Amino acid sequence: MTLLEAVLAANRARAEGDRAARAALPAGALPFVVTCMDPRLVGNVIPALGLEGTPPPQAKFAGGIVRPGDVSGVRSVLAAAVLNMATEVLVVGHTDCRMGRISSGEVRTGLQRLGVRLDGFGTEDPARWLGVFASERSAVLSSVEALRQDPRMPPRMPVHGLLFHLETGRLEIVVDGYAAAAAPTAAPGPSLGGYRPGPASLDAPPPPVFGGPAPSFAPAGSAARGPVSLGAPGPVPSLGSPGPASALSFPAPPPFAAPPPPPPVPVPPPSFAVQSPIASAGEMRDLGETRDLPPEPSPPVRAPEKAKGPKPKRKPGRGDSPFDRAQDVLDRLRRDE
């Protein structure tokens, strides 16, 4: 029983009422599920596949669409295959998908409501870029074909296409991946000997053993065997002795008869006389320079001092009262007369 047959058998049993039915997967077979992001599939599609309890790795996209050139789906599938988490791919679409019921005008109106510029899509239709499709069956077919045509997908990895009916919970086969994987590939190349999951899927030759015999580089059909020799065995020829044309030879050394050139004579650096930055007035006159010099400051002029004479003596008993001053005035007038 193949993986696809085990999944379909478990799905039929669960649709008939056996909620404990599980897919009896073959030894080493692991599915990778690509499905839609519709919330109605949460808790329904994995049990319908008979994988409840051991959920497989899965990727969810709008409408379950994997478009040509879209690396998201191929990157997830290839990572799961390299990590030994998946050997086959199940692309599961579903009925009543809203990506198949929306029109191109509604997509444009919704983008404008969100403030998205339509010229950012270039010449491509925004609805086509978003993944709007005409029917669920055609969406599954295009996604399977996009995965199979990608050059990074393993050529012998089966990619199945299924359609999940929400009303009945049954699965419908859209694409049988085994027939497509068994078909010869269009691109010529070395045979991989069948698909096997994991790093050992490529039938690479074993690495060479250290210390073993050297590989032979002779062309196919020749009688030569063993390591390639560079010349006849024997002592290594010296530099001065002549030898056969096939022997290892070295170029003659360059002649050393010419004396080496004399070293360059060092040239002393030029010296310059240091001059005083400021010259005196006499030096400038000797040089014949006419320059206006500031006048020398003159000594400050002092005011003449008043002649000092003997102060008149006051008679004893007189003070500074108004009466005494009046008496002095009268005495001066009498002396003047």
Closest CA to 232 of 243, 219, 221: 243
Q: Write the pLDDT tens digit of every residue in 65-86.
A: 998 888 889 999 999 999 999 9
291: number of Cβ within 10 Å: 9
Q: Write the pLDDT tens digit of every residue in 15-25.
A: 999 989 999 99
Burial of residue 80 (CB within 10 Å: 0-12, 13-18, 19+) is buried
The average confidence (pLDDT) of the chain is: 75
The CATH number of the structural domain formed by 3-99+136-179 is 3.40.1050.10
- Contact 40/166 with Cβ under 8 angstroms? yes
Q: Which residue type does 324 have?
A: D
72-77 long-range Cβ contacts below 8 angstroms, 24+ apart:
73/34, 73/143, 73/146, 73/147, 74/147, 74/150, 74/152, 74/153, 76/32, 77/32, 77/34, 77/147, 77/153, 77/157
The arithmetic mean of pLDDT across residues 256-267, rounded, is 65
Whether the predicted pLDDT of 270 surpasses 90: no
Q: Quick one: tokens of 231? A: 């010349």
Q: What is the pTM of this model?
A: 0.55
